[in-house]
Chain A
């Protein structure tokens, strides 16, 4: 039995269903993927060691919220934080820097402050709870 070979050769697979599926996959991956790179910020518990937070050998930074900070009761502009704390640590190297959050402070405020203070204050930095001062 002879098949009609000339007809067989002309028949080809339609690309349309393949394109449909690829488009659907493309849309799925576009919607489901995220490009935000997550980092991690290590916090040791010595930094929340309230027992060693002695008021006479400590300086207190209060995060007031809305980019407002105060240092030992005086308003501290955000741009001057590093400079002020670095100068303070030069004068009083054994002092602890206590960070306290007020009710209006957000996690972003705390992270921004810690990010600025960690390189200069290092182990002198402690995070304390609001009701402990």
Chain B
């Protein structure tokens, strides 16, 4: 049985024939490198709620809340009391501290309201809730 031979293009070596493939793979690679944002390694998988707000999120001090309402800061599970102490401490070194809360869309709203109540007790004037673009 003779092995199946693909018709070689005239005057082109096999390595030259794969060049279009390499070009496309390179283009795809460049596309993913430029347009994609590397996913952060987070303590748990959080799907933020969707909204149509236009403000682009700038993450500087991120508090995470999972589906069960547990809070996490800097890869550590914390409770609201410790969070308040940590934010107060951070506010001492940076008075313009901006806090972002990334809560799972299925987390209980009561937990988020309780977190807002805790944040209000700090010197913070406001915070930002991280949402995903609905469009």
A residues with a Cβ closer than 8 A to B are 12, 14-15, 18-19, 22-23, 25-26, 29-30, 32-45, 48, 63, 101-103, 105-112, 115, 127-130
Contact = CB atoms under 8 A, between A and B. Distances in A.
25 contacts: A15-B18, A26-B29, A33-B32, A34-B37, A35-B36, A37-B56, A37-B132, A38-B48, A38-B56, A38-B59, A38-B132, A39-B130, A39-B133, A42-B127, A42-B128, A43-B128, A45-B124, A45-B125, A107-B103, A107-B105, A107-B107, A115-B51, A127-B113, A129-B110, A130-B113
A126 to B, nearest CB: 11
Contacts, number: 160
Q: What DSSP secondary structure best describes chain B's contact surface?
A: mixed
A37 B109 CA distance: 22
A41 B129 contact: yes
Contacts of A22: 22, 25-26, 29
Chain B interface extent, by class: 35 or more
B132 A107 contact: no
Given A22-B26, A25-B29, A106-B106, A39 B53 contact: yes
Contacts of B49: 106-108, 111-112
6 shortest interchain CB distances as A-B pairs: A33-B36, A101-B109, A29-B32, A40-B128, A108-B105, A38-B57
B116 interface: yes
B120 interface: yes
Report which residue of A40, A105, A108, A112 has the largest number of chain B beta carbons within 10 angstroms of its beta carbon: A40
A123 B104 CA distance: 26
Contact of A106 (B22, B38, B105, B131): B105
Contact of B130 (A35, A40, A106, A129): A40
Interface in B95-135: 100, 103-110, 112-114, 116-117, 119-120, 124-133
Nearest to A41: B129
